[in-house]
Amino acid sequence: MKDYAVNKIRNIALAGHNGSGKTSLAEALLYKAGASDRLGKTADGTTVCDFDPEEIKRAISINTSLAAFEYNDMKINLLDTPGLFDFAAEMIEGIRASDTVMITVSAKSGVKVGTRKAYAEAVKQNKSKMFVVTKIDDKDANFFNVFTDLKTVFGPTVCPVVVPVISGGQIVSYVNLIEMKAYKYDGKGNPIETDMPTAEISEKFEYRVDGLVAAVSEAVAETSDELMEKFFEGEPFTQKELIDGIHDGMNRGIITPVVCTSAADLSGIDMLLKEIELLLPAPDEVAAEEATTSSQDVIEVPCSKEDPLSAYVFKTVADPFVGKMSFIRINSGTLKANSEAANSRTGSSEKIGKLYTLVGKKQVEMPSASAGDIVVASKITANTGDTLSDASRVVEFAAMEFPRPCYSMAVKAKAQGDEAKISASMQRLTEEDPTLTYSQNDSTKEQILSGLGEQHIEVAAAKVKSKFGVDIELTVPKIAYKETIRKKVKVQGRHKKQSGGHGQFGDVWIEFEPCVSDELVFEEKIFGGAVPKNFFPAVQKGLEESVKKGVLAGCPVVGLKAILVDGSYHPVDSSEMAFKTAASIAYKEGVRQADPVMLEPIGELNVIAPDDNTGDIMGELNKRRGRVLGMEPVEHGTTKIIAEVPEREMHDFAMYLRQTTRGMGSFTFDFLRYEQLPANLLAEVISTVNSEE
């Protein structure tokens, strides 16, 4: 594939609700443009973009895949992103590398939560947007209901461009409102020009065409004063004015065109390719991206081949055969194979080996790639979010913002000795996916894998097995309970043993009392040498080892102060070991008498949810023993609920919130403090902790 000029490149992210037809649309575009010789199907696992074994098995997109193809002397980089919320990082990465977000909306089900999320992310990242109404050939499709829905939800920027002519529930033809021409399609998806619709073809369609033409004209008129003046004078716009107006309006975010297609029979795919060429902004037309220089100055980096190299690593893939593959969007200059570039995060130089463009899993080697293009480099050390620059101008682009992990599972190796392999494979996976974390819980000593949902964690486990050959078991993480005391006691610990020769003797009196400390607080108030000083460290050590296990459920003991006040010793039989054992005896007896209680971790919960769901969520938090501390409005009809909730009640909250809010809700949960466990739960918790041992 040749090196294209910046104005001949189009970077498009396909986004939208799960099942709205993104991968099928990519398949149809690739087939129609001649980049693929067959029309694959998601259900059969034969599509270009869903080639990962897990994607084929589950019949869903899990990863953002790159499919580059040539059309009319242009290079189109298509980034097919997943619609499932568990894989939100992939969508964010795909949108970051694109200039236009093509949002698919099913003609059967209309605007869904995934549609809103894709649109919101496109707005957040300042990308131009286009709606593609898919599955238009389905018997339950209703284009005009979906179009009305789009106008209602996303406002007056929504502008029709290609619409169907429907008569008796059947699609008769497709009207291109820019060309003002109608087309039918043969069995192979080839267009045949036909007559524009009349009232005889569809009772209300002539009125609809007039209304839709007026909607297009009104949207275009908003793009400049000259066009607005012409619109008010009642003059029709020329085809060039319509194209230029929509192109400009898309780039400025004030027009969102709507087209309709069927990936199954290829209807409208040729028109969509035309709109990609004519309406979508090229990389050099979008606003210059801001970057920070090594001297911390903020500069604008226009998309120009003449400027020094600056490129952004927007995605990383851990491939066990090829090694790490880094997906790079070039913002300026030229990136050449077998060259070097400065990594602004590490300050080191990256050795760039081979460069590729991808068509799904097919790799096409490239000698170089220029500003505006997307390319893949293998075996470089850069991570997702790193900036590569020419050494003469080192800059750093802003990092992407990803949702925080909210669902965790404990990880164990199924086979003994695989722990090191798991650690290495998890390191590769967390490099690949910024919304996955893998760490050890210091209290329970479990290895914890955290992600955005149940399916996210399951897929990560499946990848560990398929890519790195390690079988892992996922279990619900243990809660890091602790124990403490509530009253002051004074007890004796006496250890005496005689077994011929030297015996063992240690005798201590220790006061135990509550205090505010996570560590044992040890003091000595011995008078008159009742216990020699050289045995004090042994007493302290005995207590420090003992507090690792409490008397209720064997959990660590906190908030404990021990004061050595008295004791006795034997000049021959006393030893450090004897006093250590005596301290341990005193501990067990003392803590038992000091009204021991269990403590559970409490976290601060911040939930952002639609206003309609706040009542349900607060009711649910009460059931989960939560305390709602307050509510505050957030933008776009959403509310933040702030609460304190026991960690014990939070394991499946991510699933509950997603179900209740249909995916619109999000939350963060951070450890706050420990509180006493209610007495009615004590027996259950002790039983659970003991069974986990």
Mean pLDDT across the chain:
91
**Segment 309-322, tens digit of pLDDT:** 999 999 999 877 77
pLDDT one-digit tens code per residue, 293-306 = 988 999 999 999 99
What confidence score (pLDDT) does residue 501 get? 64
Mapped onto helix, strand or coil, the DSSP state of residue 39 is coil
Name the more confident of 213 and 351. 351
CA distance to 125, 129, 131, 223, 391, per residue, from 249 (Å): 17, 10, 14, 6, 37
Give residues with Cβ within 8 angstroms of 393, minimum separation 6. Answer: 293, 307, 308, 310
b/e 361-375 (16+ beta carbons within 10 angstroms → b) = eebeebeebbbbbbb
Closest among 263, 286, 252 to 11, alpha carbons compared: 286
- Sketch out the chain's domains with CATH numbers: 6-279 (3.40.50.300), 298-397 (2.40.30.10), 407-475 (3.30.70.870), 483-595 (3.30.230.10), 598-692 (3.30.70.240)
CA–CA–CA angle 507, 510, 513 (5° rounding): 165
- What is the structure's pLDDT at 693? 62
Q: What is the mean pLDDT of residues 470-477?
A: 92
Asked if pLDDT for residue 204 goes beyond 60, the answer is no
pLDDT digits (tens, 9 = 90+) for 414-468: 888 778 889 988 998 998 999 999 999 888 889 999 999 999 999 999 999 988 8
Pairing of strands 437-440, 170-176: unpaired
Mean pLDDT, residues 20-32 taken together: 95
Residue 152 has pLDDT above 80, yes or no: yes
Q: What pLDDT score does 570 carry?
A: 86
Q: H-type helices in 262-358, by residue range?
A: 269-279
Of the pLDDT bands very low, low, confident and very high (cuts 50, 70, 90), residue 207 is very low
Rounded Cα–Cα distance for residues 97 and 690 (Å): 51
pLDDT-derived band of residue 274, with 50, 70 and 90 as boundaries? very high
* Average pLDDT estimate for 659-676: 93
Q: pLDDT per residue over 583-594, tens digit each?
A: 999 999 999 999
**What percent of the chain shows pLDDT beyond 90?**
74
Distances (CA, A) of 33 to 145, 329, 507, 574: 30, 23, 89, 90
Q: Is residue 481 over pLDDT 80?
A: yes
Decide: 227 and 220 in contact? Cβ < 8 Å. yes
Residues 657-677 have a mean pLDDT of 93
Which residues 6+ apart lie within 8 Å of 642 measured at CB?
604, 605, 606, 628, 629, 630, 631, 632
Helix (H) or strand (E) holding 432: helix 419-432
Nearest by Cα to 562 from 518, 520, 517, 516: 520
d(CA 62, CA 51): 10
CA nearest to 249, candidates 289, 205, 215, 281:
281
pLDDT in tens, 48-57: 899 888 888 8
Contact yes or no for 160/258 (Cβ under 8 A): yes
pTM of the model as a whole? 0.89
More confident residue, 553 or 573: 553
- What are the tens digits of pLDDT across the range 344-382? 999 899 999 999 999 999 999 999 999 999 999 998 999
Distance of CA 618 to the CA centre of its chain: 26
